[in-house]
Amino acid sequence: MLRISKSQRVWITGLLIVASFVLKKVILAPGISDILMIAAAFVAGYPIALNAIRALRYKIVGIDALVTLAVIGALLIGEYWEAAAVTFLFMFGNYLESKTLEKTRSAIKALLELAPDIARVERNGEEIQLTPDEVIQGDIVIVKPGEKIPVDGTVREGNAYVNQAAITGESMPLNKEKGDGVFSGTVLESGYLKIQADKVGEDTTFSRILQMVEEAQDKKAKTQKFLEVFSRYYTPAIIALAAAVLIITRDVRLSLTLLVIACPGALVISTPVSIVAGIGNGARHGVLIKGGEIIEKLGTAKVVAFDKTGTLTEGRPAVTNVKALEISEDELLRLTARAEMYSEHPLARAILLEANSRLGESFTAPEEAEIITGQGLKAKLEDKTILVGNRKLMRENGIPLSKDIEEYLKSEESEGQTAVIVSDLEKVLGIISIADIIRKDAEKLVKSLKALGVKKVIMLTGDNKRAAAAIAKKVGLDDYYAELLPEDKVAILKEVQNRYGTAVMVGDGVNDAPALASADLGIAVGGAGTDVAMETADVVLMSNEIKKLSYAMGLSRATVINMKQNIYFAIIVVGLLLAGVMAKFVFLSSGMLIHELSVLAVIVNAVRLLGYKEKNAET
């Protein structure tokens, strides 16, 4: 048999059918017309029959075997038109399906194409070009504008703007300089970087994302498993019915038509096409969803539980209020910063950072400093003694706290702030309030989650009640649970899940990996680069923005809706087809036409998911 491509075969068959139709109706030459029809049936039917025989050798009856049987039957009873139409529609349908199916997979394919292809490496003082797989850990890699970074690494030299869209889905380029981490697959837009390779080849975050997405796209949803079982029984049942019809009624046409519709193609394909489109859309927006079942769960979640530190908050304390009593605010900050110069305490770091950004100078160390554990510190500078710490430090040193100061401290603390008192040896100079800053998107996120139909948005934290209450109020949470041990978090998740339905735990994936792993559904925020988070979470938000959570959830809802539309549509078509065939409204070719159209409709519907965008999303 000479080699002709699928599309050529479609054309030839189509032309033969048209020619034969014209001959019959216009020129009235039914004899030649029939011959052309038979020819069309053979051209289109040959590959179908070939596939059928190939499968039969392994004792497998596929849809092509059924179609071949139906066509042979149609030819034998003289239904040439039907035979040609069935084969043509089957082949043409498959051809269109493969074209549209490619579309549903295009998002993931596009991701694959973002992989870096060359690496410029400095070895023995010479610059050489390698493939990214040939780079060795520790190599110094040079990246120029327009090039992709080929490794995960640390910047050693240079300064550049890097677009990290491939990893985080964020297209705003970030400035990278010495000491910053960079990801493989991201694009250097302007500047120049020398990077020390930390992770290469398959170990890079980008490669791992690709692997995970590839696995995720074929992890079956629960509905899908059910449908596969259904079709496993449906097909033999219809074949049996066809045989019964033939034996009992001797109605050859009816029984052949049954064979054509025995394979519920739209039903089988209804969920996987939606899922691959949904996962593909997510992957392009920095949302990694690990499979169909996860999409189903996320799409129907009723409770979202947040971890506090690093999730709802930035995860690093910062100065929120400066109240100077005897001196200016700047002077207060300057003195405190000098006193805290060598302290490693996170609160001290926060004060230094604030002083630095406000005053824009570097500070000289105090002449003497003594750290008093559990209280604060005492430092000598500029002929003064400065005390920085809590109430206890003041009491021990005999510094009076007036009623006003005490009230101010209490009000700050009720807001979840840590108040640091600064004094000299006689009186209080001022109070600096420090808190873990709430992420700026947090409040908006809670609102959009509610709008998406989440019943309860809660917070689970190991932190104290005061701090938890303050944050819960500001962000607008329904409830909070404080002072929890990791195992308490799991117990509470179980409880809310029993009461409201599927519960999702959101964390940064590092501090709370166990809670994420044991939750119904664990979501890690800012997962790029942290292996634990990427491994344990069911959904990974690559960038450090929690607003992506509402995107992930909205996308999952849309995917679930899309899947349901496909399933209901496919079931209705299967039912109507069967009824139509039995009632003799639908014959061979029209049965095949409806069958192929329904498969196409399901795929086209799934393609819509690729265009999913969050409503009211900021750009």
Cβ nearer to other proteins, comparing 170 with 214: 214
Give the number of residues in contact with other proteins, rule: CB under 8 A: 30
Of 64, 139, 152, 307, catalytic: 307
Q: Whole-number minimum distance, CB 60 to other proteins, in Å? A: 5
Q: Whole-number minimum distance, CB 124 to other proteins, in Å? A: 33
**Contact positions with other proteins (CB under 8 A) in 16-55:** 50-51, 54-55
CA distance 124 to 126: 5
Cβ nearer to other proteins, comparing 29 with 55: 55
136 binds other proteins, rule: CB under 8 A: no
3 binds other proteins, rule: CB under 8 A: no
Picking from 510, 454, 514, the residue whose alpha carbon sits closest to that of residue 484 is: 514
Stretch of residues binding other proteins (CB under 8 A), selected from 58-66, 70-78, 201-209, 516-524: 58-66
Q: Whole-number minimum distance, CB 212 to other proteins, in Å? A: 12
Cβ nearer to other proteins, comparing 60 with 118: 60
Stretch of residues binding other proteins (CB under 8 A), selected from 95-103, 389-397, 451-459, 554-562: 95-103
Would you call 307 a catalytic residue per the annotation? Answer: yes
Distances (CA, A) of 584 to 256, 258, 459, 468, 573: 12, 11, 61, 69, 16
Picking from 480, 541, 484, the residue whose alpha carbon sits closest to that of residue 508 is: 541
Cβ nearer to other proteins, comparing 539 with 603: 603
Is 319 in contact with 350 (CB distance < 8 Å)? yes
**Site track for other proteins across 177-216, x = CB under 8 A:** -------------------------------------x--
SS (H, E, C) 440-506: CCHHHHHHHHHHCCCCEEEEECCCCHHHHHHHHHHHCCCEEECCCCHHHHHHHHHHHHHHHCCEEEE
CA distance 63 to 540: 39
Q: Whole-number minimum distance, CB 59 to other proteins, in Å? A: 8
CA distance 541 to 290: 11
Of 16, 39, 43, 63, the one binding other proteins (CB under 8 A) is 63
Q: Whole-number minimum distance, CB 38 to other proteins, in Å? A: 24
**Site track for other proteins across 431-450, x = CB under 8 A:** --------------------
CA distance 120 to 144: 9
Pairing relationship of beta strands 126-130 and 119-123 according to DSSP bridges = antiparallel
- Write out the DSSP string of 172-222: S-EEEETT-EE-TT-EEEEEEEEEEEEE-GGGSHHHHHHHHHHHHTTSPPH
Is 260 in contact with 68 (CB distance < 8 Å)? no
CA distance 479 to 138: 48
**Site track for other proteins across 489-528, x = CB under 8 A:** ----------------------------------------
**Site track for other proteins across 247-286, x = CB under 8 A:** ----------------x-x--xx--x--xx----------
Cβ nearer to other proteins, comparing 55 with 607: 55
Q: Whole-number minimum distance, CB 274 to other proteins, in Å? A: 11
Q: Which two tokens stand for residue 287?
A: 């949302």
Q: What share of the chain is helix, strand, coil (3-state, %, to 5)?
A: 55, 20, 25
Cβ nearer to other proteins, comparing 231 with 321: 231
Cβ nearer to other proteins, comparing 449 with 573: 573
71 binds other proteins, rule: CB under 8 A: no
87 binds other proteins, rule: CB under 8 A: no
Q: Whole-number minimum distance, CB 219 to other proteins, in Å? A: 9
276-297 burial code (b ≥16 CB/10 A, e <16): bbbbbbbbbbbbbbbbbbbbbb
4 binds other proteins, rule: CB under 8 A: no
Stretch of residues binding other proteins (CB under 8 A), selected from 98-106, 185-193, 373-381, 507-515: 98-106
Tokens 């041990």 locate to 485
Picking from 293, 269, 273, the residue whose alpha carbon sits closest to that of residue 573 is: 269
Picking from 70, 432, 487, 83, the residue whose alpha carbon sits closest to that of residue 255 is: 70
Of 59, 370, 403, 616, the one binding other proteins (CB under 8 A) is 59
Q: Whole-number minimum distance, CB 41 to other proteins, in Å? A: 20
Of 4, 29, 38, 62, the one binding other proteins (CB under 8 A) is 62
57 binds other proteins, rule: CB under 8 A: yes
Q: Whole-number minimum distance, CB 1 to other proteins, in Å? A: 13
Cβ nearer to other proteins, comparing 75 with 273: 273
Cβ nearer to other proteins, comparing 218 with 361: 218
CA distance 448 to 615: 10
β-bridge partners, 422: 388, 430
395 binds other proteins, rule: CB under 8 A: no
Give every CB contact of residue 49 below 8 A, 6+ residues apart in sequence: 64, 68
Q: Whole-number minimum distance, CB 530 to other proteins, in Å? A: 26
Q: CA Rg, the chain, in Å? A: 34
- Structure letter (DSSP) for residue 310: I
Picking from 438, 437, 429, 418, the residue whose alpha carbon sits closest to that of residue 347 is: 418
238 binds other proteins, rule: CB under 8 A: no
110 binds other proteins, rule: CB under 8 A: no
Q: Whole-number minimum distance, CB 237 to other proteins, in Å? A: 16
Give every CB contact of residue 261 below 8 A, 6+ residues apart in sequence: 238, 574, 577, 578, 581, 586, 591, 592, 595
Which residues of the shown chain bind other proteins in the complex (CB under 8 A)? 50-51, 54-55, 57-60, 62-64, 94, 97-98, 101-102, 104-105, 108, 214, 217-218, 232, 263, 265, 268-269, 272, 275-276
Write out the catalytic residue numbers: 307
